[in-house]
Structure 1
Amino acid sequence: MAKRYSARVRGETFGFSSLKEVFAKSNEEKSGDLLAGVAASSAAERIAAKRVLSETTLEEIYNNPLISPDEDEVSRVILESVRMPIYNQIKNWTVAELREFLLADTTTNEDIAYLRQGLTSEMIAAVCKIMSNLDLIYAASKIVVTSHCNNTLGIKGTLNARLQPNHPTDDVEGILWSMREGLAYGVGDAVIGINPVNDSVASVSRLMEATHEMITEFGIPTQNCVLAHITTQMEAVRNGAPVSVFFQSIAGTEKGNKAFGISVSLLDEAYEVIKRYSTAAGPNLMYFETGQGSELSSDAHEGVDQLTLEARCYGLAKRYNPLLVNTVVGFIGPEYLYDSRQVIRAGLEDHFMGKLTGVPMGCDACYTNHMKADQKDIENLAVLLTAANCNYFMGVPMGDDVMLNYQCTSYHDIATLRQLLGLRPAPEFECWMEKMGLIREGILTDRAGDPRVFTKGGFAGNG
């Protein structure tokens, strides 16, 4: 007989038929969970589910996978990654005890790095559900996850940024001008990554070549990436196109990944290809994007809430020792995250879960025009995440992506966040900026933001 779970709140007893139901109903309110029919029906029921979850042991979560590994390869990847000696040391902890460990002043980054090896993605999702926003910020701020490709990302005291010079027609010259402006603001140390309109091998190869040429010409200590489907990127590099990093969007279920046209075996193959053909030093050569609700959008959620599925994405990403992982937190729309309150909560959840998993976690702090959020909300999220030691954000001209048609963090926002909280670019990138006369002692110079620095007759190398 299946175990039943229950808790009493204000004189009313709430019963839950399975751990999957406890997980779903303990989640903070999300429009995606409501759409999926798995959300709590009231605040009292949500509190009851949180109480049950907080008293659940890690062993019970391990022994009751929400999606059977016999039916789902993401579940298998997650379980295979667990180091059993470490798990056995903590399996009798409750989720509440895990929370107390993470929040204790005496718990260090090294302590967390050791402990995470005994956790599954579901355990990480569980502790996230019983934490406040400030809990998520404080716990994540302790966790440092660095990575290296042509420079070093995620170092404590730095804030990195992806330069996202998208263009509605993939016009190379338009992309290069966006790159010049972004680089002049100190954006692009995380990666220069383009979302292509045209997913053909020829078009993707052209963008790889253009970005690689500019990186080489100016000796920029960064890496390039074109965010086409992984199969297109593989064909392009096999044909000789120069790229540093492979990209792919991933989901938290096998069925969700099939909707993306990928599988674990395909990602394994891509990982071997980029290790062979990358133009970069490495060793971290993969880039993944995620976002709460993507599995529901393809009817691939398997009855599991969107936060837990997001945690499973990070468990899958970890298999490939990525350079970058980020949640595109406000992009998927109000069907899954209805308003700014839900977007901010999801951004803090995702960042915390990624860091606790051990992946180098960033965030695309963004929104679409059909959801109840605006630029001020995204600025609030960016400040909160920067305080939480987020590895990187996006850098988009004026915060308005003219190809993807959504609003995001701008080049100016990255500069402001660094100055506000006393953060620097990646060290190799900052040294390069100093040579270009763009920064001095951590402060942008009056040349910053001028794209002519990267043209003939410009200001490059003059000071």
Structure 2
Amino acid sequence: MAYRQLLGGMLWHFEDLRSLLARASSLRSGDQLAGLAAGSATERMAARLALAELPLKAFLNEALVPYEADEVTRLIVDTHDAAAFAPVAHLTVGDFRDWLLSDAADSAVLAALAPGLTPEMVAAVSKLMRNQDLIAVARKCRVVTRFRNTLGLPGHLAVRLQPNHPTDDARGIAAAIVDGLLYGAGDAVIGINPVSDSLVQLEGLLRLLDQLITQLDAPTQACVLTHVSNTLALIERGVPVDLVFQSIAGTEDANRSFGIDLALLREAQAAALAQGRGSLGENLMYFETGQGSALSAGAHHGLDQQTCEARAYAVARAFKPLLTNTVVGFIGPEYLFDGKQILRAGLEDHCCGKLLGLPMGCDVCYTNHAEADQDDMDNLLTLLGVAGVNFVMGVPGADDIMLNYQSSSFHDALYLRETLGLRRAPEFQAWLEGLGVVDTQGRLLPVGPQHPALARLRQPLLA
């Protein structure tokens, strides 16, 4: 179906819904690279005006990627909750934006609505939003998950402790973990990106993390971010696995480029659940996404990268994850050129994921060849904190020496918590108080060389 809009004395033509969504997107280099971006600000506004008049129901009748050819489309269609959708079924995309910003759309209402929304609906409405709209709506969406602690509570912010090492050296990783714990990081997960895919090496890292958590009785969870097939093999060997990690995308073809499909994810989830390692809950999947991944694989099917990203959240939602992380600037300037594009994408991803019912975090990051710097990341980090992001990254010095990109540091997370009055996961906070690392208000206490907490942390890690 074609769409037309009169603006600036011209009749603008959009050949189908994919084209309309792409032209309505905020400018980003990936869509320009794909030949999908609006050619001017006027064309972009014409697309947004046409999109605002589109009924939400239209997304139930026009598949952006054919149902017969794409299992992500089938997942979206087959799991759509018509009863949950009913309260907003009469709205246009523009009306939906206004409703989301109204007092009628409170946290409870949005939680009930989430199963009735499709990724394409939330991508569309986000294209009509200013940055402040994305923040205001996301802040009202609260998604709480549990494994060994409770994440996503209002007024809380968790941190993934990311102790990567360029050679997977156990002592180097352990030193970074001690550093992070003494800054109060690690309640989201202690998660290592390994250099090696060797099962022997992966097993060693997982046993190191399991030893840490067991001996310290730490209320958190561990993850080695390897391919899901490796995780399955490790579980079969009896290796202790808390969280199952996988990068995912918004089309079947893009997921195939990652070496996965929905059946493999279900198999891994079932295997991890059978281990019964969660003490508070069974949310044990950890997904990472990023705008541009489908385009980089040549698997975007003519969709703009933000709409593809939202479709990845449908995959994540099906598995009730503990954590979903948009690694917003990691793919590079070919897809998000500068700090402004990265900031906008991070706010979009967070808002869209939350509307779909996901526990969204964000790796506030950039590569060294992007037109961005740490000030840009400070801006995005602060805005996401205001928007109620579930978790962010904690990397020593904000410089990941293995993945070679810039992220957020333990200090950055501490700044955000102190500035906005955000707490750690309650179980983790109580544990840190018992160690003498923080006071009852969550503020760091001095920890010198003779502090009992340092000795206790070092014992299982650096022995």
Length-normalised TM-score, structure 2 = 0.96
**Aligned position for 2:289:** 290
| Distance in 2 separating the partners of 1:201 and 1:340 | 38
1:81 corresponds to which of 79, 88, 91: 79
**Aligned position for 1:192:** 190
Q: Is the contact made by 1:327 and 1:364 (CA closer than 8 Å) also made in structure 2? A: yes
**Aligned position for 1:447:** 447
Alignment of 1:36 with 2:34, yes or no, is yes
**Aligned position for 2:398:** 399
**Aligned position for 1:135:** 133
Cα deviation digits, residues 348-402 of structure 1 (max 9, x gap): 0000011001010000000000000011111110000000000000000000000
Q: CA deviation at 1:119?
A: 1.2
Q: CA deviation at 1:276?
A: 0.8
Q: Is the contact made by 1:24 and 1:39 (CA closer than 8 Å) also made in structure 2? A: yes
Cα deviation digits, residues 46-92 of structure 1 (max 9, x gap): 00001111100011111001111111000111112211223344322
Cα deviation digits, residues 124-169 of structure 1 (max 9, x gap): 1100110000000011011110100000001101110000000000
Give the match's secondary structure for 1:316. Answer: helix
Q: Is the contact made by 1:397 and 1:411 (CA closer than 8 Å) also made in structure 2? A: yes
Give the match's secondary structure for 2:246. Answer: strand
Q: CA deviation at 1:4?
A: 1.9
Q: CA deviation at 1:453?
A: 3.0
- Aligned ranges for residues 63-462 of structure 1 at < 5 Å? 63-281=61-279, 282-440=281-439, 441-447=441-447, 453-455=453-455
| Distance in 1 separating the partners of 2:398 and 2:455 | 24
Question: Which amino acid in 1 is paired with 2:374?
Answer: Q
Q: Structure 1 residues 16 and 151, CA, compared in 2 at 3 Å: closer, same or farther? A: same
Length-normalised TM-score, structure 1 = 0.96
Q: Is the contact made by 2:438 and 2:444 (CA closer than 8 Å) also made in structure 1? A: yes
Q: Structure 1 residues 200 and 38, CA, compared in 2 at 3 Å: closer, same or farther? A: same
Question: Which amino acid in 1 is paired with 2:38?
Answer: A
Q: CA deviation at 1:13?
A: 1.4
Q: Structure 1 residues 171 and 92, CA, compared in 2 at 3 Å: closer, same or farther? A: same
Q: Structure 1 residues 101 and 457, CA, compared in 2 at 3 Å: closer, same or farther? A: closer
Q: Structure 1 residues 166 and 451, CA, compared in 2 at 3 Å: closer, same or farther? A: farther
Q: Is the contact made by 1:453 and 1:459 (CA closer than 8 Å) also made in structure 2? A: no
Cα deviation digits, residues 325-365 of structure 1 (max 9, x gap): 01000100000000000000000000001100101000000
Give the match's secondary structure for 1:443. Answer: coil
Cα deviation digits, residues 293-324 of structure 1 (max 9, x gap): 00011100000000001100111100000000
Q: Structure 1 residues 228 and 401, CA, compared in 2 at 3 Å: closer, same or farther? A: same
| Distance in 1 separating the partners of 2:353 and 2:69 | 24
| Distance in 2 separating the partners of 1:231 and 1:459 | 33
1:22 corresponds to which of 20, 23, 46: 20
Give the match's secondary structure for 1:447. Answer: coil
| Distance in 2 separating the partners of 1:264 and 1:182 | 34
Q: CA deviation at 1:415?
A: 0.8
| Distance in 2 separating the partners of 1:209 and 1:327 | 27
Give the match's secondary structure for 2:203. Answer: helix
Q: Is the contact made by 2:291 and 2:305 (CA closer than 8 Å) also made in structure 1? A: yes
Give the match's secondary structure for 2:428. Answer: helix
| Distance in 1 separating the partners of 2:276 and 2:203 | 14
Q: CA deviation at 1:9?
A: 1.5
Q: Is the contact made by 1:185 and 1:449 (CA closer than 8 Å) also made in structure 2? A: no
Cα deviation digits, residues 400-444 of structure 1 (max 9, x gap): 000000011001111111000001100000000000101112211
Unmatched runs of 5 consecutive residues or more in structure 2: none
| Distance in 1 separating the partners of 2:296 and 2:185 | 32
Q: Is the contact made by 1:185 and 1:448 (CA closer than 8 Å) also made in structure 2? A: no
Q: Is the contact made by 2:255 and 2:261 (CA closer than 8 Å) also made in structure 1? A: yes
Identity %: 48
Q: Is the contact made by 1:185 and 1:411 (CA closer than 8 Å) also made in structure 2? A: yes
Give the match's secondary structure for 1:287. Answer: strand
Q: Is the contact made by 1:139 and 1:352 (CA closer than 8 Å) also made in structure 2? A: yes
Q: Structure 1 residues 39 and 70, CA, compared in 2 at 3 Å: closer, same or farther? A: same
| Distance in 1 separating the partners of 2:452 and 2:308 | 45
Question: Which amino acid in 1 is paired with 2:221?
Answer: Q
| Distance in 1 separating the partners of 2:284 and 2:5 | 46
Question: Which amino acid in 2 is paired with 1:397?
Answer: P
Q: CA deviation at 1:201?
A: 1.1
Q: CA deviation at 1:457?
A: 9.7
Q: Is the contact made by 2:216 and 2:457 (CA closer than 8 Å) also made in structure 1? A: no
| Distance in 2 separating the partners of 1:290 and 1:459 | 36
